[in-house]
Structure 1
Amino acid sequence: MLVAFNLRPALTTVGPLLTAIRADTGLSASGAAVLTTLPVLFLGLASATGPAAIRRLGVNRGILLAIVIVAAGLASRAIGGIGPLFFGACLSAAGIGLAGVLLPGLVKRDFPRHAGLMTGLYTMVLCLGAAAGAGLTVPLQDALGAGWALPLAAWAIPALVAALAWTPFSGREQAAAPAPIRSPRRAWLWRDPLAWQVTGFMGLQSSLAYIMFGWIPALLQSRGLSALDAGFIASLMSIGQAPVALLVPTFAARAGDQRAYATGLILLTVTAFLGVVYAPIGFVGALTIALGFGLGGTFGLGLTIIVLRARDTAGAAGLSAMAQGIGYSIAALGPLGFGLAHEAGGDWTLSVVLFCAIALAGVLCGLGAGRNRQVGAG
């Protein structure tokens, strides 16, 4: 749970300070789009290293390495300036991507009869970490009386706490993981249509979430809210994710088929997002919480589907690496496209159209990924 708490602040702390960062550094809207995109790309690249990390280090030591990388990336932001900001964002995202691949395999290994509950618990805490990053960074800046660099770097402290807490577990396993049942090689995953449907669903729902992590504070500020209020509302979105992230995996894991969950949660996400953009400002708080319900539910569902569609621990790690490695690479295009569409159109119209198109593609992938089948079952 401590590790999970630290897997989102690196991504959600920049948004509330993005206006201040741009004013201080002269970063353009396109540069801001790149800043919200590169970390997601590094999430995907690092996720692909998950199976290799299991073979060389084991799951437990791999998770320790991941959270140390997160802490190092966050701490590097204290230097200040555009270079350390981009470097820290990419480095911490790489640690997050590695941990994200290893945790489903750990759940499959240590909690095979409670996969939904444990996935829901760590996903819920992950969402609470995202909420803390979005809601507390601006107040932290005010309390420190500093610019934007030190409040961003301060989030390295809870990551170091998590690393210290995890250290006793890092020596309790064999470094090697068992081979997959189907084959000692992972090439068969790339030939399995179900694996690609799981990957598509994971990537597309993640794209919706990372668009919101990166851009909803700016969107809210464009509607007249202050940076403090926008950060608070963004934290409500992440808080809204927490209970649904716990409940959806728990119930979805008991169902034989998850297609209805995938469709309903994405439709909720789109409806709430449209409300945040166009509804009267007085409704934005409630709509943002509803948006969090949708995003948290789809994220928890995506992780649960990875566990349910795999046949064993190694299969879960392999499918997780594929779904998150390729999926996050797909997701990286969302924040970039959203920002570029906003800059091209001068308002949020083109960005809204893009968001809805990504959601529709997510529904289509969810209808395949949610079927009661397992990867490699034929």
Structure 2
Amino acid sequence: MSNKQNIKAVPSSIGLIILGIIIIAANLRAPLTSVGPLVSLIRDDVRISNTVAGLITTLPLLAFALLSPLVPKFGRRYGIERIILIALIFLTVGIVIRSLSGAANLYIGTAILGFAIAVCNVLLPSLIKRDIPNKIGSMTGVYSISMSLFGAIASGISVPLAVNAGLKWQGALGIWGILSFVSILCWLPQLGNQTKQTTTTSQQMASNDVNVWRSPLAWQVTLFMGIQSMVFYVLIAWLPEILKQQGIGSNQSGWYLSIMQLALLPFTFIVPVIAGRMSSQRLLVVITIILLLTGTLGLLYGSSNIILVWIIILGIGGGCAFSLSMMFFGLRTENAHQAAELSGMAQSIGYLLAAIGPALIGFLHDATNSWNLPLFILLGASVLLFLVGIGAARNRFVGSRNSYELPRKGR
């Protein structure tokens, strides 16, 4: 049996790796979720329609779709740590450019930060699979909480920063450049990581060479990723506007969006831990869909007096869906290479689907002058999420026809 060599990074300290993952994850939603509550301010200042305003949320998703398939190759060639550092630098630059006045700067900066976030989105699951393989569930939960917590904070403080603090929408968006700069400083020590040669059997190399693009299971994971992302980013972009139609002011609707994201926090940690100990995650998929359907139906037909209840239910469902999509990258693959390839594929096609959401919903609202049809679209998306989720939750690896019992202890 022939052996082949593979480069594997050796972390100088697991503690530093975990700290780096947490701080980087904090940057992956805040620059995006800070936009939703400010859409009306941006729209009026730049003088654009709801459809065009939806592109502010759509552009990063298109960037995710375009760059994600290439990221695993960059990571293998230049090293995961180095590529992540470059991405963090571009993220900071993109945030600064977006915060400058003018529509051109708004969209150019948004595109740049979208490319940067795409790199980190793809490589973080692979980094966890490589360096902390026995704690995939708990580490996925930790970085999911970091993402969601800072995403919620960004939604809640955007309007107060822009209006009450007098920073305008530019300052409210630009302030997140401070966090991305701090993440650069925290990640710099990782460049000192040494590398070592590890031997890999030909059987393992064969598993490395699996073409995930030909795997039905990989496509189910991809569609699950895409549909849940579409639902989430539609809510991030338009929930404040949906609430305004029901008589809720900008400040309050921004905090409601923040509460939706805070509601998912415990579940972004609990769900990955539970999922990692289950051979099949189908029960979790069913629970997730019930929550999403209930929350959406509540916005459509429920009492406005308990609208916060529907928002919290939506948040919990969204948190479960996101956590499952992240877990599938590790649970449905056998090694870090496959995890990166599946992550790249899922985030490419998945976010391409998600990118359609905010602009389409904005267009439908402009065409009907109502949020009812957009909410029906979300109901249909939840049904589709169930269909692909049942397949993605099967106890199998990509590229394999047989079912494998996944290790449960320590996941």
Name the TM tier (shorter chain): over 0.9
Partner of 1:263 in structure 2? Answer: 286
Please tell me the residue identity of whatever aligns with 2:100: I
1:291 to 303, 314, 338: 314
Please tell me the residue identity of whatever aligns with 1:147: K
Residue 52 of structure 2 corresponds to residue 28 of structure 1: no
Report the alpha carbon displacement of residue 185 of structure 1 after superposing the two structures with TM: 4.5
SS at match of 1:148: helix
Report the alpha carbon displacement of residue 277 of structure 1 after superposing the two structures with TM: 4.0
Partner of 1:322 in structure 2? Answer: 345
Residue 129 of structure 2 corresponds to residue 108 of structure 1: yes
Distance in 1 separating the partners of 2:165 and 2:196: 43
Residues 366 and 36 of structure 1: CA distance in aligned 2, closer, same or farther (over 3 Å): same
Please tell me the residue identity of whatever aligns with 2:322: F
Partner of 2:114 in structure 1? Answer: 93
Report the alpha carbon displacement of residue 6 of structure 1 after superposing the two structures with TM: 0.8
Distance in 2 separating the partners of 1:200 and 1:263: 16
Contact 1:259 1:370 in 2 (8 A): yes
Report the alpha carbon displacement of residue 279 of structure 1 after superposing the two structures with TM: 2.5
Contact 2:23 2:183 in 1 (8 A): yes
Contact 1:249 1:301 in 2 (8 A): yes
Give CA deviations for 1:43-101 in whole Å, capped at 9, x if unaligned.
22222222122122212222222222222111112311111111122211111111010
Distance in 1 separating the partners of 2:230 and 2:82: 29
Equivalent residues, number:
377
Please tell me the residue identity of whatever aligns with 1:276: L
1:8 to 3, 25, 29: 29
Distance in 2 separating the partners of 1:83 and 1:176: 47
Partner of 1:227 in structure 2? Answer: 250
Contact 2:161 2:168 in 1 (8 A): no
Deviates more, 1:302-311 or 1:90-99: 90-99
2:148 to 115, 127, 130: 127
Report the alpha carbon displacement of residue 135 of structure 1 after superposing the two structures with TM: 0.4
Give CA deviations for 1:335-357 in whole Å, capped at 9, x if unaligned.
22222121222101211121111
Partner of 2:95 in structure 1? Answer: 74
Aligned CA RMSD, in angstroms, stands at 1.8
Contact 1:120 1:247 in 2 (8 A): yes
Partner of 1:50 in structure 2? Answer: 71
Report the alpha carbon displacement of residue 9 of structure 1 after superposing the two structures with TM: 1.2
Distance in 1 separating the partners of 2:197 and 2:30: 31
Give CA deviations for 1:199-258 in whole Å, capped at 9, x if unaligned.
111111111111111111111122111111111000001111211101000101100001
Contact 1:55 1:177 in 2 (8 A): no
Distance in 2 separating the partners of 1:307 and 1:46: 20
Partner of 2:83 in structure 1? Answer: 62
Partner of 2:9 in structure 1? Answer: none
Deviates more, 1:54-63 or 1:233-242: 54-63
Partner of 2:263 in structure 1? Answer: 240
Please tell me the residue identity of whatever aligns with 1:334: G
Distance in 2 separating the partners of 1:66 and 1:240: 29
Contact 1:131 1:239 in 2 (8 A): yes
Q: Which runs of 5+ in 2 are unaligned?
A: 1-21, 402-411
SS at match of 2:205: coil
Distance in 1 separating the partners of 2:316 and 2:188: 33
Contact 2:130 2:336 in 1 (8 A): yes
Please tell me the residue identity of whatever aligns with 1:182: A
Please tell me the residue identity of whatever aligns with 2:52: G
Residue 292 of structure 2 corresponds to residue 273 of structure 1: no
Distance in 2 separating the partners of 1:95 and 1:266: 31
Contact 2:365 2:371 in 1 (8 A): yes
2:206 to 182, 187, 195: 182
Residues 174 and 342 of structure 1: CA distance in aligned 2, closer, same or farther (over 3 Å): farther
Please tell me the residue identity of whatever aligns with 2:278: A
Residue 373 of structure 2 corresponds to residue 340 of structure 1: no
Contact 1:58 1:176 in 2 (8 A): no
Distance in 1 separating the partners of 2:187 and 2:179: 12
Partner of 2:223 in structure 1? Answer: 200
Contact 1:116 1:253 in 2 (8 A): yes
Residue 363 of structure 2 corresponds to residue 349 of structure 1: no
Give CA deviations for 1:316-364 in whole Å, capped at 9, x if unaligned.
1111111111111111112222221212221012111211111111111
Contact 2:126 2:340 in 1 (8 A): yes
Distance in 1 separating the partners of 2:157 and 2:293: 26
The sequence identity of aligned pairs, in percent, is 37
SS at match of 1:230: helix
Distance in 1 separating the partners of 2:27 and 2:324: 20
Partner of 1:331 in structure 2? Answer: 354
Partner of 2:393 in structure 1? Answer: 370
TM superposition score normalised by structure 2: 0.88
Distance in 2 separating the partners of 1:236 and 1:165: 29
Distance in 2 separating the partners of 1:63 and 1:49: 14
Residues 152 and 214 of structure 1: CA distance in aligned 2, closer, same or farther (over 3 Å): same
Deviates more, 1:366-375 or 1:147-156: 147-156
Residues 32 and 84 of structure 1: CA distance in aligned 2, closer, same or farther (over 3 Å): same
Report the alpha carbon displacement of residue 113 of structure 1 after superposing the two structures with TM: 1.0
Please tell me the residue identity of whatever aligns with 2:246: R
Report the alpha carbon displacement of residue 8 of structure 1 after superposing the two structures with TM: 0.4
Residues 178 and 259 of structure 1: CA distance in aligned 2, closer, same or farther (over 3 Å): farther
Partner of 2:160 in structure 1? Answer: 139
Give CA deviations for 1:140-196 in whole Å, capped at 9, x if unaligned.
12353132112111111111111111111133154999997335646x211111111
SS at match of 2:370: coil
Please tell me the residue identity of whatever aligns with 1:139: P
| Pair member with larger Rg | 2
Residue 220 of structure 2 corresponds to residue 213 of structure 1: no
